[in-house]
Amino acid sequence: MLENPKNKAQITRLRLPTTNYQIQTTNNYLCGMEQVLQQIENLRKEIEALHIDNVKALEEYRIRFLGTKGLVKTLMGEMKNVAVEQKKAFGQTMNEFKQFAEAKYEEWKNETSNGQQSAAAEIDLTLPGDTIPVGSRHPISLMRNRMVSIFQRLGFAVAEGPEIDDDFHNFTALNLPENHPARDMQDTFYISTNPAWLLRTHTSNVQIHEMQKGKLPIRIVTPGRVYRNETISARSHCFFHQIEGLYIDEQVSFADLKQTLYFFVQEMFGKDVKVRFRPSYFPFTEPSAEMDISCLLCNGEGCSVCKKTGWLEILGCGMVHPKVLENCGIDSHKYSGFAFGMGIERPAMLKYGIKDIRLFSENDVRFLKQFTGAV
């Protein structure tokens, strides 16, 4: 096929790249037309011997032979070095080779894409998909969400704030005296590089920030994580969760406080739950109280959980101390309010039968998986 006698003449300068394309040139800069024709013939034989049956090999073939830096282009580029009287014959041979290389490419392309189609046809689209592992809500989140949604139904909005705050928002504004044990380095985590900052010991700091905004009335709950320097045991940890509530308006009374909290525990623990208020003391409320509910496990009979008292301590509460209102720029003669605070871990432990508070923060999937689908 390449035995065209016109091709026999000499090419004066032929430049072919030294590549791994296996073009055998005796001399890169000067070689005969005959040799080039021999190379084309060798390449044709090489292509004929190829059997391409996959996309990757096909792409490699395309790049090597038909790409912008491929062999066909490179050989075509030699046209300029061919003597005028040989150009036609050279062009004809090259065109034949190009068409051959392209036809082979098209042939294999069809075969490989048909192959893919038939492989696709074998996929059973009716099979169920692979299950994607879905996590579950953390029991603390479950309990927090339950608590929040009850208060939301009573018109409380959710407010959040910083876990690192200053002494004023965590202590001073709340009427905690200078010598109060909570302010001790032993009880609170201070930031060592700047002891003016600390990890909040309650979420009251959020309520102080809200009161300072000066927009009244205020009706908020503040769920969040708090920190205390406690020895870690089955019953206490150095970080835990709280939800506090604050309602400030004109004419807010202790009766409002009692009814709000009574509604909350009934929604939370059932209509049969009984409550009792015991007088207590907090620097930020006056008067202050602690609220107990009848023991959920023994119905008030007395058991190990309620230490035979029939009652479970659930929250602290009181009327916001006038000094706290004034510290935040609120006129305590015009406005009054109530506040309460409770932990989230204890009720969660009660509800889900969790015996060790440390389980909440160990990230053991065997523990966490048990709450799949829980509410």
* Alpha-carbon gap, residue 369 to 352, rounded angstroms: 13
- Among 340, 344, 345, 348, interactor with ligand 2NL by CB under 6 A: 340
Among 178, 232, 177, 176, smallest CA distance to 202 is for: 176
The four Cα atoms 27, 30, 35, 36 give a dihedral, to 10 degrees, of: 110
Question: Exposed/middle/buried for 13, CB within 10 Å: 0-12, 13-18, 19+?
Answer: exposed
In the bound state with ligand 2NL, the residue whose beta carbon lies nearer, of 63 and 238, is 238
Q: Residue 205 and residue 189: Cα distance in Å, rounded? A: 15
Using CB under 6 A as the binding criterion, the count of chain residues that bind ligand 2NL stands at: 19
Closest CB to ligand 2NL among residues 317, 348: 317
Nearest approach, Cβ of residue 277 and ligand 2NL (Å): 12
176 touching ligand 2NL, by CB under 6 A:
no
Cα–Cα distances in Å, from 350 out to 63, 92, 314, 347, 353?
Answer: 69, 91, 11, 5, 5
| Interatomic CA distance for residues 69 and 61, integer angstroms | 12
Report CA 117 to chain centroid distance, whole Å.
37
Q: Does 325 bind ligand 2NL (CB under 6 A)?
A: no
**Selected binder of ligand 2NL within 52, 101, 246, 265 (CB under 6 A):** 246
Q: Is 348 in the site for ligand 2NL (CB under 6 A)?
A: no
* CA–CA dist 234, 238 (Å, integer): 12
Instruction: Please state the closest distance from residue 318 (CB atom) to ligand 2NL, in A.
Output: 5
If one asks whether residue 223 binds ligand 2NL (CB under 6 A), the answer comes out as no
Binding piece for ligand 2NL, criterion CB under 6 A, among 72-80, 89-97, 247-255, 313-321: 313-321
Min CB(133)–ligand 2NL separation in Å:
36
CA atoms of 325 and 26, how far apart (whole Å): 98
Find how far residue 338's CA is from the centre of its chain.
Answer: 37
Q: Measured from the CB atom, is 7 or 285 closer to ligand 2NL? A: 285
201 binds ligand 2NL (CB under 6 A): no
Range in contact with ligand 2NL (rule: CB under 6 A) among 50-58, 71-79, 251-259, 311-319: 311-319
User: Is the CB of residue 208 less than 8 Å from the CB of residue 174?
Assistant: yes
The reply to whether 31 sits near ligand 2NL by the rule CB under 6 A is no
Q: Which string of x and - marks every residue 271-310 that binds ligand 2NL (by CB under 6 A)?
A: -----------x-xx-------------------------
Q: Which is nearer to ligand 2NL, 11 or 324 (CB)?
A: 324
Footprint of ligand 2NL on 121-150 (CB under 6 A):
none
Q: Residue 317 CB, nearest distance to ligand 2NL (Å)?
A: 5
Q: Which two tokens stand for residue 202?
A: 């309650």
Residue 336 touches ligand 2NL, criterion: CB under 6 A:
no
> Cα separation of 246 and 226, whole Å?
17
In the complex, residue closest to ligand 2NL by CB: 341
Report residue 56 as tokens: 């990757």
Q: Does 207 bind ligand 2NL (CB under 6 A)?
A: yes
The Cα–Cα gap between 140 and 123 comes to 44
- The answer to whether residue 264 forms part of the interface with ligand 2NL (CB under 6 A) is no
Q: Rounded to an integer, what distance in angstroms lies between the CA atom of residue 284 and that of residue 105?
A: 84
Q: Choose the stretch contacting ligand 2NL; rule: CB under 6 A; options: 7-15, 145-153, 238-246, 292-300.
A: 238-246
Shortest distance (Å) from residue 280 CB to ligand 2NL = 8
Q: Is 324 one of the binding residues for ligand 2NL (CB under 6 A)?
A: yes
- Burial grade of 124 (CB within 10 A; 0-12, 13-18, 19 or more): exposed
Residues 6+ apart with CB under 8 A from 372: 136
Give me the residues paired with residue 219 across strands: 247
89 touches ligand 2NL by CB under 6 A? no
* 8-state DSSP, 154: T
Chain residues in the site for ligand 2NL (CB under 6 A): 204, 207-208, 242, 244, 246, 282, 284-285, 316-318, 320, 324, 339-343
